[in-house]
């Protein structure tokens, strides 16, 4: 039986039911739905709408329904349109007609908004822990490679030497911002719409603040129309996940490139590499290609929801039911992806020799210009002079460092014999020691800052939606 059958003389068409029903996916929110109902039963008892004894019956019944879901014994019925219908139907089977009192003053509109906020809070907390694990893996790997040099690229062209730790830590800070944004989204999602009713608010004297508190939410919505139609918390969460996915995609691209034998900078652990069914020599970085590929669907989920929201008239519309699959999918995608990326970073082998061998002297051209700058030449002129030397060296098929001093002096008489000291990758790198630079000293300071950041942001452990316990708190 539907929750709204009274007005209709004919049963709903099967095809419409297949389209309209959301139980196929919103059953994932059974815990949140039941927690919301337990808190609500107590709230309407406090408001004098049901007796304390009735509330106790409802709460006991709801706990039994929860136990059925948790043990996998809950039997769905064909008419269970959504999780709210299914729980109320089963509750009423278990406790009788008093089950029909639970929905007093409540609508599925404020109910679903509450359930989904609770689910989102749990999901964000879970994700936070998984991102933190990846950050720790990046720190641990970086700590091993403070002195490992590699070519740094701009436009994917060799640019300047950098330390491998610096490359790894660049991703640490992207993830730090992701976690900041996640905490922010979490804060705005922790608001209770319960008591907004269908759209106009409840006529019963439910204490909305107490209800919010019981559910672990920090405040209540201030406008019932907004409360039932606001899905900003979903859009924000999808954005946080899409941007996180974008960062993982860029890490994926670097790892795919650097593990290509023509770079050979890194080797993925066998457990996290894949082969080819045809070419026996192949060693592919499929998981990092998936990290790159999954960004597409994460961004798609975000743009899909924004498109759904943009034209909606005020208050609840069934279009809003589209919110759930998008967020469930983004969350599932990331909870599958993050542990693999974390393990890959943890077990990554960096081939210091290959990185070193890829350092060409051209990468020191900037240092050569800086040499002239230190002797008083304006940088623009120094850049031009060194550009001429690079061209000369290329024409003569000579290394930059092999050009005789007279040749250097032909473009600038500021060159002296000590210019030979410029041709040293270690000294190039170690000079970049200002905060945020690639010098080992600066990277050590960066690692300390990263550790401090982690200390300041302990990962939130999956805080499960609280189930208010009537038995513990006694009378409602
Ligand atoms: N399954 C619905 C959703 O996810 C629940 C709310 C239904 N409300 C309604 N007025 N039909 O949005």
For ligand 1, atom 7, name the residue with the nearest CA. Answer: 108
Over 90: is that where the pLDDT of 459 sits? Answer: no
3 state SS of 423: coil
* Mean pLDDT computed over 68-74: 97
- Residue among 276, 398, 427, 473 flagged as catalytic: 276
* Mean pLDDT computed over 280-293: 92
Over 80: is that where the pLDDT of 31 sits? Answer: yes
Domains in the chain with CATH codes: 5-104 (1.10.275.10), 109-204+216-358 (1.20.200.10), 361-431 (1.10.40.30)
Q: What is the pLDDT of residue 466?
A: 75
* Mean pLDDT computed over 439-443: 98
Over 60: is that where the pLDDT of 473 sits? Answer: no
Distances (CA, A) of 114 to 177, 199, 417: 27, 14, 74
Are 201 and 164 contacting, i.e. CB atoms less than 8 angstroms apart? no
Over 50: is that where the pLDDT of 470 sits? Answer: no
Q: Is 443 exposed, middle or buried (0-12, 13-18, 19+ CB in 10 A)?
A: buried
Distance from the alpha carbon of residue 310 to the mean position of ligand 1, in angstroms = 18
Q: What is the pLDDT of residue 476?
A: 36
**DSSP string of 98-158, one letter each residue:** GGGGTTTT--HHHHHHHHHHHHHHHHHHHHHHHHHHHHHHHHHHHHTTSS-EEEEEETTEE
**Packing angle, helices 232-259 and 286-310, rounded to 10:** 160
Tell me: the pLDDT tens digits for 298-344?
999 999 999 999 999 999 999 999 999 999 999 999 999 999 999 99
- Alpha helices (H) in 316-351, listed in sequence order: 323-347
From 108, 126, 124, 123, select the one nearest 193 (Cα to Cα). 108
For residue 77, how far is the Cα from the chain centroid?
35
Which residue from 83, 86, 318 has its CB within 8 A of the most atoms of ligand 1, so it is best to mutate?
318
Beta bridge partners of 157: 154
Q: Give the E-state strand segments of 229-357 in sequence order.
A: 266-267, 349-350
> Of residues 110 and 272, which shows the higher confidence score?
110
Only one residue has tokens 């970049």, namely 432
Q: How many CB atoms lie within 10 A of CB 332?
A: 12
Atom of ligand 1 lying closest to residue 4 CA: 11
pTM of the model: 0.94
> Of residues 320 and 2, which shows the higher confidence score?
320
Mean pLDDT, the chain, whole residue set? 95
Q: Which helix (H) or strand (E) holds 392?
A: helix 379-396
Q: What is the pLDDT of residue 1?
A: 65
Tell me: the pLDDT tens digits for 122-171?
999 999 999 999 999 999 999 999 999 999 999 999 999 999 999 999 99
Q: Which residues line ligand 1 (CB under 6 A)?
A: 22, 26, 82, 108-109, 112, 316, 318, 320-321
Only one residue has tokens 């509330």, namely 55
Q: What is the pLDDT of residue 275?
A: 85
Local confidence band at 460 (pLDDT 50, 70, 90 cut-offs): low
Let me know if 155 is a catalytic residue.
yes
Q: What is the pLDDT of residue 352?
A: 98
Only one residue has tokens 């499960």, namely 464
Out of 196-200, 270-274, 306-310, 322-326, least confident range: 270-274
CA angle 207, 33, 309 (to 5 degrees): 90
Distances (CA, A) of 18 to 14, 33, 40, 452: 6, 22, 30, 52
Q: What is the DSSP letter of 164?
A: H
Over 70: is that where the pLDDT of 421 sits? Answer: yes
Over 70: is that where the pLDDT of 474 sits? Answer: no
Over 90: is that where the pLDDT of 461 sits? Answer: no
């Amino acid at each position: 039986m539907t929750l709204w059958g009274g007005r209709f003389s004919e049963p709903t068409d099967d095809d419409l039911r297949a389209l309209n029903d959301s139980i196929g996916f919103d059953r994932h929110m059974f815990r949140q739905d039941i927690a919301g109902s337990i808190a609500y039963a107590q709230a309407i008892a406090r408001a004098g709408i049901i007796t304390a004894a009735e509330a106790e019956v409802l709460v006991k019944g709801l706990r039994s329904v929860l136990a059925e879901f948790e043990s996998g014994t809950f039997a769905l019925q064909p008419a269970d349109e959504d999780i709210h219908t299914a729980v109320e139907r089963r509750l009423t089977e278990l406790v009788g007609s008093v089950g029909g009192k639970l929905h007093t003053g409540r609508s599925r509109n404020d109910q679903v908004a509450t359930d989904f906020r609770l689910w989102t809070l749990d999901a964000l907390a879970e994700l936070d822990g998984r991102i933190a694990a990846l950050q720790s893996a990046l720190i641990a790997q970086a700590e091993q490679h403070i002195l490992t040099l590699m070519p740094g690229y701009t436009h994917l062209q060799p640019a300047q030497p950098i330390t491998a730790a610096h490359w790894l830590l660049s991703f640490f800070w992207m993830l730090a911002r992701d976690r900041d944004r996640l905490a922010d989204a979490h804060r705005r999602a922790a608001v209770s719409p319960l008591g907004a009713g269908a759209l106009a608010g409840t006529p019963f004297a439910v204490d909305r603040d107490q209800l919010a508190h019981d559910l672990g939410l920090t405040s209540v919505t201030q406008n019932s129309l907004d409360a039932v139609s606001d899905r900003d918390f979903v859009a924000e969460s999808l954005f946080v996940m899409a941007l996180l996915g974008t960062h993982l995609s860029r890490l994926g691209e670097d790892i795919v490139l650097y593990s290509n034998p023509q770079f050979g900078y890194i080797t993925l652990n066998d457990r996290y590499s894949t082969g080819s069914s045809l070419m026996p020599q192949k060693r592919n970085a499929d998981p990092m290609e998936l990290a790159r590929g999954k960004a597409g669907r994460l961004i798609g989920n975000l743009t899909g929801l924004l498109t759904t929201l943009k034209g909606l008239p005020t208050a609840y519309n069934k279009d809003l039911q589209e919110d759930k699959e998008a967020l469930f999918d983004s969350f599932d995608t990331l909870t599958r992806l993050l542990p693999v990326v974390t393990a890959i970073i943890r077990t990554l082998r960096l081939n210091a020799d290959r990185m070193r061998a890829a350092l060409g002297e051209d990468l020191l051209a900037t240092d050569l210009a800086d040499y002239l700058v230190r002797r008083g030449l304006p940088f623009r002129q120094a850049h031009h002079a060194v550009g001429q030397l690079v061209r000369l060296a290329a024409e003569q098929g000579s290394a930059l460092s092999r050009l005789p001093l007279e040749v250097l002096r032909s473009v600038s008489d500021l060159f002296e014999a000590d210019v030979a000291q410029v041709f040293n990758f270690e000294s190039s790198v170690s000079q970049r020691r200002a905060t945020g630079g690639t010098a080992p000293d600066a990277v050590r300071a960066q690692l300390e800052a990263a550790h401090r950041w982690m200390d300041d942001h302990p990962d939130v452990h999956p805080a499960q939606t609280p189930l208010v316990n009537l038995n513990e708190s006694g009378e409602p």
